Structure 1
Amino acid sequence: MIIYAAAVPATPTLAFDPGAAYDEVKRLRTALLYHDWPTLRQLLDAAEPGVRSHLVRFAADWGGIELSLHDQLARAPEDPHVPVLLAARLIAAGWRIRGRAMASYVDDDRFAEFHDHLRRAEQLLIDVTARHPDDVAAWTQRLLVARGLQLGQAEARRRYDRLARHLPHHLPAQSALLQQLCPKWGGGWELAHAFARECAEAAPPGAGNAVLVVEAHLEESMEAIDVVRRREHLRGPQVTAEIQAAAERSVSHEDFRHTYGWVAVRSTFAMAFHLMGEYRAARDQFEALGPYTDQAMFGYHGEWRAAFTRARDESYARGGRR
């Protein structure tokens, strides 16, 4: 008798484009590539406020559009979308100039150019939010400006509160404020964790907002100088319980849906579970992601694509079903 071994499912080839999972992002990028402004405006007009904020985020990473955006702004100064897109692009370019290093390692010239980009973006966004106070995308970008220009906790919270009047569970804005509340930006861990828990508990069951609890613990773990000590923080009983509860409220909940932002949410949980040694739980998230990826917080552990691949491969190898 011949016995055939069971086939092992192939591991999907990764798509390292964080926007690959979203059809609207593909249409957005095509419009940007061909400078098709009517299509771009139609796409942004049709998007819900929260989705529009995500689209602006993806557009910000598209280089080479600044001159065209300036031209469009001159042609249609009342257009609400073009100044937000231009501001987002300036902010993204500014943060790249600054780099990920601690402030003490950023030279004066880079800081000056970084701040110049942010100030120009702020002027555009001030005008937009004055004319359109419900523009969630503009307020989300203003949170990034507040952090970069070091405008302080009170101003960042004021901007978030203005946004939350119109969209109270907007995860990109909450994630931006969470960064502001971390000690590296003048906050404290008690503030950061309290805000993360507040957002998680206020959001509907199945929403992705509980990932903020994970983000806060991952950020705190980065205070450790090596990965071994980072793992120790995440494997503490209280932290483990909080992250597992966050998963049950979001990615493991029956109401969790693959709406905008789902790839980043699952990627963050996958990273946390991997570092915690919860390989089966990590594998569940990687399986749910399929070919899709997001930088999430993998960049803290080296080049993010390589870090993502290593974590996925180890989780598949060590997280087998029983």
Structure 2
Amino acid sequence: MPAPLPAIDFDSAAAFPEVNDMRAALAARDWPRVRQLLDPRDWAGRAFLAGFAEDDAAIGDWLRQVLAQQPGDTVAATMLAAHLIQVGWRIRTDKFARDVSREQFAQLHEYLRQAEQILIDVCAREPGNVLAWEERLTTAMGLGLGQAEARRRYDRLARYAPHHMSAQSRLFQQLCPKWGGSWEKAFDFARECMLAAPEGTQNAVLLAEAHLERFVTFDNDGERGAYLRDPRVVQDIWTAAQRSVLHPNFRHEPGWVSTRSVFVLWFGLTEQWPAAAAQLAALGHLASGHPWSYVGGNEVLDKFRAEAYAKGGLR
């Protein structure tokens, strides 16, 4: 009987201990400490840590109190808008549009409109507020403002942070067919982001994400198998990996666990077990919910880990 696989940790704090500092500051409703944690960081770091506020369903009233005392605090305003967006999206759920009721859509749109008004004010005060523009990508998508408006908002953001990964991921989603785009638009944008970014950054993973989005839309094993055997797909995955996780300049910055995990998934799907094993070795005991939630969850992760240990030389 094979030995059990080593335990893994899905908590972001295992990779970034400062997450616990942010959680503690939010739980204590300590706004000066929240600002102390956010302000010194770049936009990617701020987006990463500020996102943990969304885990607290009761945070909206506190952020309103902060704004009542400090009306010009655009950080609090942006976090409140992000909270409203999250509340609306939870009401909508992540079901296909055909399975969402008219009432759910009405409530989603109400929350998104509230958030949009807050964000318009923030962007007027601070045209270079990358996080506010990033949230406006989500309101544009949810309110059905269209591809052109979404791209306009992204282009405004990109003036100040041209390789901001989390914003690129949001626009990429809207460019997919499920949000009114097309595969051509989605792949073109993923390649654009990959080629424009410095080698060794995470941006190239968008091309692997594009292939994952395409892969999960196929209806049967035959189509999925043919896609995995397509040499153009395999080459794209290797190109993306070589410009990101396989590059000597790759750094473990916010998002790195998910980025490496996407390549574990792809190397596993294409049965390139030594390559999968190398990424699992780099991950160690760390894991993320994405991309495994796309393909069957932890059961698939455990299967791929077992295969990598058995066939990829992982010890």
TM-score by length of 2: 0.93
Q: Among 67, 89, 93, which residue is 1:95 paired with?
A: 89
Corresponding residue number in structure 1 for 2:60: 66
> Is 1:254–2:248 an aligned residue pair?
yes
- Name the stretch that deviates more: 77-86 or 277-286: 277-286
> Is 1:224–2:198 an aligned residue pair?
no
Stretches of structure 1 lacking an aligned partner (at least 5 in a row): 1-7
Q: Among 41, 51, 60, which residue is 1:47 paired with?
A: 41
CA distance 1:148–1:315, change in 2 (3 Å): farther
Q: Among 273, 282, 303, which residue is 2:267 paired with?
A: 273
CA distance 1:11–1:283, change in 2 (3 Å): same
Corresponding residue number in structure 1 for 2:72: 78
Identity of aligned residues (%): 49
> Is 1:312–2:277 an aligned residue pair?
no
Query: Do 1:115 and 1:149's aligned partners in 2 also have CA atoms closer than 8 Å?
Result: yes
Task: State the Cα deviation string for residues 102-134 of structure 1 (Å, max 9, x = none).
Answer: 100111121112222211111111111111111
The letter for the 1-side match of 2:309 is: Y
In the TM superposition, 1:1-322 aligns within 5 A as: 11-226=5-220, 229-302=223-296, 304-320=297-313
Whole-angstrom CA distance in 2 between matches of 1:18 and 1:28: 12
| Cα offset, 1:91, TM superposition | 1.6
Query: Do 1:28 and 1:55's aligned partners in 2 also have CA atoms closer than 8 Å?
Result: yes
Query: Do 1:56 and 1:88's aligned partners in 2 also have CA atoms closer than 8 Å?
Result: no
- Superposition CA RMSD, Å: 2.1
Whole-angstrom CA distance in 2 between matches of 1:151 and 1:52: 26
Corresponding residue number in structure 2 for 1:4: none
Query: What secondary structure does 1:28 align onto?
Result: helix
Whole-angstrom CA distance in 2 between matches of 1:145 and 1:312: 38
| Cα offset, 1:35, TM superposition | 0.7
Whole-angstrom CA distance in 1 between matches of 2:104 and 2:121: 27
CA distance 1:284–1:136, change in 2 (3 Å): same
Query: Do 1:193 and 1:213's aligned partners in 2 also have CA atoms closer than 8 Å?
Result: yes
| Cα offset, 1:197, TM superposition | 0.8
- Name the stretch that deviates more: 290-299 or 248-257: 290-299
The letter for the 1-side match of 2:38 is: L
Query: What secondary structure does 1:46 align onto?
Result: coil
The letter for the 2-side match of 1:120 is: Q
CA distance 1:37–1:226, change in 2 (3 Å): farther
Number of corresponding residues = 314
CA distance 1:96–1:232, change in 2 (3 Å): farther
Query: What secondary structure does 1:180 align onto?
Result: helix
Task: Please identify runs of 4+ aligned residues in structure 1 that moved more than 6 A.
Answer: none
The letter for the 1-side match of 2:161 is: L
Stretches of structure 2 lacking an aligned partner (at least 5 in a row): none
